Amino acid sequence: MKDYVQSFVVIGLLIFGIVGISYHLFRDDGWVEMILGNVWGATIQYPLIVIPAIIAAGFIIRMRAQARAAHGTTSKIPDVLIWILMGFGAVFVFRWFMYGTL
């Protein structure tokens, strides 16, 4: 029973973390607009700018996956990302109960 409750809490915090981050990223005047500013409008006007970035990202991801498979080691990065999302989830749950908003 303890494992069930613990799993429920972890999944709940992860969901709140993902939803809260998504909300703050994509809302009007959100984090994306603050960070990118006018660059966002440029990529919509000139979508060909994005193609080299997508190709480079795909190449880097493929290289990392091949290197990891060749060495046979696993990374701690997924565990760290889960803990970070759970932390964000805890913050958003607190804000939701205290202020009524994410």
Instruction: Tell me the residue range of the domain where 15 lies.
Output: 2-99
Whole-prediction pTM: 0.61
- Average pLDDT rounded to a whole number, residues 62-82: 74
Backbone angles phi, psi at 79, to 5 degrees: -65, -40
CB 93 within 8 A of CB 18: no
Return the number of other C-beta atoms located less than 10 Å from residue 41's C-beta.
11
What is the 8-class DSSP label of residue 49?
G
Domain count, the chain: 1
Cα separation, 26 vs 54, in Å, equals 20
CB 85 within 8 A of CB 92: no
Encode pLDDT of 6-15 as tens digits: 889 999 999 9
Encode pLDDT of 25-52 as tens digits: 888 878 777 777 666 566 566 666 677 7
